[in-house]
Amino acid sequence: MFSAIYIEAEVKDHPRVGEILRRFPQLPHIECTRYGELFNRKAQNFRLQKAAPALILARKHGNLVLPTPAGYGFESGPGFYFSHMLNCLYDCRYCFLQGMYQSAHYVLFVNYEDFQEQLQQFMATQNKAVFYSGYDCDSLALEPVSGFCRFILPLFAQNPQAILEIRSKSTQVRQLLESSPLNNVVIAMSFTPEKDSARWEHRVPSIAKRIDALQKLQAAGWPVALRFEPVMFGPEGLQPYRELLQQLADALDLAALHSVSAGEFRMPSAFYKKLVKLYPDEALFARSTIVSDGMTTLATADSDAMAAFEALLLAHVAPSQYYRCA
């Protein structure tokens, strides 16, 4: 799972660190001063590291809960995001994290209590705030090791006015299924069509397995949501999305979905340039692109493709359930 475990000196005696180290006695345990001396080093190669990433156990300082960018998420009320982890177990070729970080190592911040405290402060002052987990990582993929969701869910059980979105492509939902569902905790699963997933979403559970996990969560009473990001059109146009939506409609009660969102492939141009350097041989990045306001998107032959996709989507879900990602 990991090539090594690095431990920040500050957390070496943290009980959570001890627990994780005992779980992986065969791995090298290497002490460092601050996680940045590994994670933020220049001249690292994300692509090479992704073959065998290490786990870095660290303490997160400063602001742990941050306001979301304008237009992010499903509510117009105050939105915040937090990341107990940096980087993702999966290896999606289109992922912006490859452009954002110098390193493919996973950083797990073990000071969960500090996250809890700052979330509580926001909950006390912000009515109906929405908190997003999974911006800088997959929220559930490392749950068997981190136990972060198990730790944080009781806070949301005690604060039903606050909403939590757990965004994931993981099928690690056993712990959720063993708990009572919370109406204010939304499990949002991301999907791309089958062929795209097989081609670009390395190490990600299959679409069938993800749908199965969502189905179980929905049956257990958890609010579930669908995220179509990034929407990318190939030579077959909308057909792969038709098939995907049919698969989802066959398994889930779409009318009961908490929300559905879609967003085109887009990322800051600086990140995109870095991706191109990492993967000069990747067909996805050989496509023509459009750069506007510092963001790069894929050029498509049909400028109405996204609108056509939305029309297809809205044949399955109500307009009130849908929002387009900014």
Q: Which residues bind other proteins (CB under 8 A)?
A: 3-4, 6, 28, 30-33, 37-38, 41, 43-45, 47-49, 51-52, 54, 233-237, 276, 279-283, 285-288, 299, 301-302
Q: To the nearest whole angstrom, how small is the minimum distance from the Cβ of residue 195 to other proteins?
A: 11
Round to whole Å and give the CA distance between 163 and 168.
16
Q: To the nearest whole angstrom, how small is the minimum distance from the Cβ of residue 199 to other proteins?
A: 10
Q: To the nearest whole angstrom, how small is the minimum distance from the Cβ of residue 324 to other proteins?
A: 22
Q: Which is nearer to other proteins, 125 or 288 (CB)?
A: 288
Q: To the nearest whole angstrom, how small is the minimum distance from the Cβ of residue 161 to other proteins?
A: 45
Question: Is 131 within 8 Å of 182 (Cβ atoms)?
Answer: no
Counting Cα atoms < 13 Å in the Cβ hemisphere of 261 gives 23
Burial (Cβ within 10 Å: 0-12, 13-18, ≥19) of residue 289: middle
Residues 173-191: b if buried by 16+ CB within 10 A, e if exposed: beebeebeebebbbbbbbb
Q: Which is nearer to other proteins, 219 or 283 (CB)?
A: 283
Give the CA angle between residues 316, 320, 323 to the nearest 5°: 85
Q: Which residues pair with 163 in a beta bridge?
A: 130
Q: Which is nearer to other proteins, 52 or 249 (CB)?
A: 52
Round to whole Å and give the CA distance between 46 and 275.
9
Residue-by-residue DSSP string for 193-213:
-HHHHHHHEETPPPHHHHHHH
DSSP state of 84: S
Q: To the nearest whole angstrom, how small is the minimum distance from the Cβ of residue 10 to other proteins?
A: 16
Q: Which is nearer to other proteins, 15 or 25 (CB)?
A: 25
Q: To the nearest whole angstrom, how small is the minimum distance from the Cβ of residue 234 to other proteins?
A: 5
Q: SS3 of 98, please?
A: helix
Round to whole Å and give the CA distance between 14 and 12.
6
Q: Which is nearer to other proteins, 145 or 284 (CB)?
A: 284
Q: Which is nearer to other proteins, 174 or 202 (CB)?
A: 202
Q: To the nearest whole angstrom, how small is the minimum distance from the Cβ of residue 322 to other proteins?
A: 24
Q: Which is nearer to other proteins, 21 or 32 (CB)?
A: 32
Tokens of 183: 């109406």
